[in-house]
Amino acid sequence: MHPTDAHAPAGTTGRAGSANFIAEIIEEDLRTGRRQTVVTRFPPEPNGYLHIGHAKSIVLNFGLARTYGGRCHLRFDDTNPTTEDIEYVEAIKRDVQWLGYRWDGEFYASDYFEQLYDWAVQLIRAGKAYVDSQSEEEIRRTRGTVTEPGIPSPYRDRSVEENLDLFERMRAGEFPDGAHVLRARIDMASPNMKMRDPLMYRIRHAHHYRRGDDWCIYPMYDWAHGQSDAIEGITHSICTLEFENNRELYDWFLDTLGIEPRPYQYEFARLNLDYTVMSKRKLLQLVREGHVRGWDDPRMPTLAGLRRRGVTPEAIRTFCDMIGVAKANSRVDYAMLEYAIRDDLNTRAPRVLAVLDPLRVVLTNLPEDHEETLEAAYWPHDIPKEGTRPVPFGRTLYIDRADFQEHPPKGYKRLAPGRAVRLRHGYVITCDEVVRDADGRVTELRCSVDRATLGSNPDYKVWGVIHWVDAARAVPAEVRLYDRLFSVPDPDDVPEGRTFLDHLNPDSLTVAAGAVVEPSLAAARPGDRFQFERLGYFVVDEDSTGERLVFNRIVTLRDTWAKKREDGKRGDAPGPETNREASAERREATQAAGEAAPAGTSARRDPMADLTPAQRARATRYVDALGLDRHDAALLASDEALARLFEDAVEAYPHPRPVANWTIHELLGVLGGDRTAADLPFDGAAFGALVRLVDEGTITGPTGKQVLARMAEHGGDPRAIVEEQNLRQVDDDALLRPLVEAAVRAHPDKVAQYRDGKTGLLGFFVGQVMRQTAGKANPQRVRALVLAALAEA
């Protein structure tokens, strides 16, 4: 899938574990046979250009398919004729290819309109969808709010025949836009707004860029997407976090249609990058309002922009692998992207000399007509590549103005009056005289060159190395220097009444119009990348003409000197100390907030406050008669099925405290939210028996959990399971001691660390033995034995 194999599969890490939670799910699906293959898809809507956030999704989807030997489709989610265009389809295809991926099939949601229509009819016949004739306004109003349920439409109970007839006529074009919609018939009171009878079709008498005027009803995203996935045999449908609430609807459509096998949706956090915006709407606005030169402006986070900026697809892929895939909203440090870019370019961009802001240097001890050709290596010593080019050297040179300071600050390692520096690939020169114009501006430096310093150092101090270009044969060039488009890390974070545009960085583009480059660059072609030594990486822009070379700065070199100066200027630099203070402060602040609450209402509120009278009576009985803690009592009493199971368990094993503990801390854990105690394939008596086994020491706690997990799965009697599988606790020291000693012997390094005070290692050794006995060893005994063994060894 990748042209180069240097790129590791999506998020491959050094460790044995999976790269990310989605890869983990896929591996599990493959391992259990739930799935035999992996089919993913990248589903852009052709209404804008792809940006680096999409790159994350592309790398993920294509990478997963590649890693697990599956396929990845490119599917255009083109269900909205009013915003989509063929221009975008082509741009998207170009960008995906440029990134280095080839799709296993090109698909369009608009090709599925017939099938989608048939399925909609199926839902209508099943009474699961209806034509609503309310106005847009009415529909919005009756949807309710996040805190109030919606109101059913008066058209909700139309007959199947009427719905069928209306829907058919909607398709036939009998109605104007907005006259009717088709809605799924689900639940207007659902706490999930997405489930309140969502729209499936709207009427739009609009020309579709692919289907022309074939249709005047168009499917909504939720209706089209999952079914498109199903049609293509997608196994894992990966999207971003804002679709989490849509998953319930995704599932509902597929399940009520009865499509099998069906795809499943998983969500990950979209990429946010410091100092830029990532929404298509905002990028479009930047282009339309002329804040940038176009979709491919090198300051744009679009793939087209990054490409024109000179960033390589390899760097973007590396970056995407670096940032990982998770579910926490986050924003990535710009330095991470820069690192990926430099890391890639370091080994592929030849080094050349260029001067952005020329300052003339005359070498006074050379004859007027001096001409010489130096041989300069394209690559530094640590890059295993060969190649040199001739570099002319004469009496007059240009150096960068920034490389000379009349009053050099401490630590400055470049040219200054009386100081000597080396010209990269050339001689050492010493500054003898500074020439200025009437305004006092430095116009020229008069220096002397030491002809004995070509391959060797003189016996006087050389302060540094600077880049230069021979004036006589310099090639003029325009160099565009790009900086972050916005001046703050999160441009979307704006105060009332302002917009992200207020954060535009006015200096995001500066042009060095009078730059000069060495003559070897005269033949450079658009797309060629170079490192201008000491300045950064640059690419020849397509604006270059035969007369005039134009370069874009891709990224600067890492510059520790500039960084130091920057910090110095800020005075008290925010070192690690202040960072620590800041986080400590934040911690205290939240803590204070947390502590302030109980004084008011919530935290110190009586745990029984929310219970019904009947529940409260039960909870009180648990406290009074069984001696339970109020919190525990309230928790048990609040759930009918749980309370019944608990009481039955206490009947079987009349020790309320441990039974309550196991009910709350272990049973609730295996139930995990959607199941209730009533769904369990075992009763309270069996559960009580299990608690007895643990409490009386027949089996260990960890074993108890294993048995519980098994019971939750298949039911059964705990005593029988224990006997069948021989799970009794092992607390015979004679059996345990050899295991403990073996564990200690096997890890002499850990023993040493333990001695040095790393006491957490005690758990490591206990864990070793516990694992070896599959959890059957008595942990207290093991612990004691480990302690003894460690003391001896």
Residues carrying an active site annotation: 45, 270, 280
Residue 43 C-beta: closest distance to RNA, Å: 7
CA–CA separation, 518 vs 388, rounded Å?
A: 13
Residue 60 C-beta: closest distance to RNA, Å: 12
Residue 512 C-beta: closest distance to RNA, Å: 17
Q: How many CA atoms lie within 13 A of 732 on its CB side?
A: 4
Q: Judged by CB under 7 A, which of 38, 479, 761, 790 binds RNA?
A: 761
Q: Spell out a b/e string for 328-337, using b for 16 or more CB atoms within 10 Å of the CB, else e.
A: eeeebeeeeb
Question: Tokens 């009794």 belong to which residue?
Answer: 728
Within positions 630 to 669, which residues make up the interface with RNA, using CB under 7 A?
631, 635, 658, 661, 664-666, 668-669
Q: Which two tokens stand for residue 744?
A: 């200690």
Supply angle C-alpha 117, 123, 129, rounded to 5. 100
53 counts as binding RNA under rule CB under 7 A: no
Residue 593 C-beta: closest distance to RNA, Å: 5
DSSP, collapsed to helix, strand or coil, labels residue 183 as strand
- Residues for the chain: how many in total? 793
* Between 470 and 666, CB nearer to RNA: 666
245 counts as binding RNA under rule CB under 7 A: yes
The 448-467 site mask, x for binding RNA (CB under 7 A), equals: -----xxx--------xxx-
CA–CA separation, 47 vs 109, rounded Å?
A: 14
Site size toward RNA, by CB under 7 A: 143
136 counts as binding RNA under rule CB under 7 A: yes
Residue 605 C-beta: closest distance to RNA, Å: 7
* Between 415 and 722, CB nearer to RNA: 415
The 532-571 site mask, x for binding RNA (CB under 7 A), equals: -xx----------------------xxxxxxxx--x----
Residue 475 C-beta: closest distance to RNA, Å: 20
CA–CA separation, 61 vs 109, rounded Å?
A: 18
Residue 100 C-beta: closest distance to RNA, Å: 20
Task: Please choose, out of 241-249, 431-439, 472-480, 725-733, the segment that lies near RNA by the rule CB under 7 A.
Answer: 241-249
* Between 144 and 294, CB nearer to RNA: 144
* Helix, strand, coil percentages in the chain from 3-state DSSP, rounded to 5: 40, 20, 40
* Between 191 and 627, CB nearer to RNA: 191
Q: Judged by CB under 7 A, which of 40, 79, 552, 729 binds RNA?
A: 79
Residue 635 C-beta: closest distance to RNA, Å: 5
Q: Judge whether 54 and 98 are in contact, CB under 8 Å.
A: no
676 counts as binding RNA under rule CB under 7 A: no
Name the CA radius of gyration of the chain, rounded.
Answer: 36
Within positions 111 to 130, which residues make up the interface with RNA, using CB under 7 A?
none
Q: Judged by CB under 7 A, which of 69, 387, 506, 576 binds RNA?
A: 576
Q: Which two tokens stand for residue 214?
A: 């074939």
246 counts as binding RNA under rule CB under 7 A: yes
Q: 34: how many CB neighbours lie within 10 A of its CB?
A: 12
Q: Judged by CB under 7 A, which of 291, 348, 424, 655 binds RNA?
A: 424
- Give the sign of the dihedral formed by CA 363, CA 367, CA 369, CA 374: negative
CA–CA separation, 236 vs 72, rounded Å?
A: 10
Within positions 324 to 383, which residues make up the interface with RNA, using CB under 7 A?
324-333, 335-336, 338-339, 342-343, 346, 351, 380-383
* Between 40 and 246, CB nearer to RNA: 246
CA–CA separation, 775 vs 783, rounded Å?
A: 13
* β-bridge partners, 421: 429
* Between 1 and 332, CB nearer to RNA: 332
93 counts as binding RNA under rule CB under 7 A: no
Question: Tokens 């094993």 belong to which residue?
Answer: 653
Q: Which of 670, 400, 623 is nearest to 533 (CA)?
A: 400
- Find out whether the peptide bond into 491 is cis, omega within 30 degrees of 0: no
262 counts as binding RNA under rule CB under 7 A: no
The 389-418 site mask, x for binding RNA (CB under 7 A), equals: ----------------------xxxx----
Q: Which two tokens stand for residue 791?
A: 């003391």
Q: Judged by CB under 7 A, which of 4, 146, 384, 523 binds RNA?
A: 146
One-letter amino acid for residue 150 of the chain: G
616 counts as binding RNA under rule CB under 7 A: no
Q: What is the dihedral of CA 378, 384, 387, 392, to 10 degrees?
A: 30
Q: Spell out a b/e string for 484-512, using b for 16 or more CB atoms within 10 Å of the CB, else e.
A: bbbeebebeeeeeeeebeebbeeebbeeb
607 counts as binding RNA under rule CB under 7 A: yes
DSSP state of 203: E
Within positions 718 to 747, which residues make up the interface with RNA, using CB under 7 A?
none
772 counts as binding RNA under rule CB under 7 A: no
* Between 527 and 697, CB nearer to RNA: 697
Residue 107 C-beta: closest distance to RNA, Å: 13
Provide the strand spans (E) within 43-180: 71-76, 106-108, 129-132
The 304-323 site mask, x for binding RNA (CB under 7 A), equals: ------------------xx
45 counts as binding RNA under rule CB under 7 A: yes
Q: Which two tokens stand for residue 710?
A: 């098994």
Please give the backbone phi and psi of residue 432, each rounded to the nearest 5 degrees, phi first. -100, -30
* Between 439 and 572, CB nearer to RNA: 572
Within positions 189 to 228, which residues make up the interface with RNA, using CB under 7 A?
191-194, 199, 202-204, 218, 220-222, 225
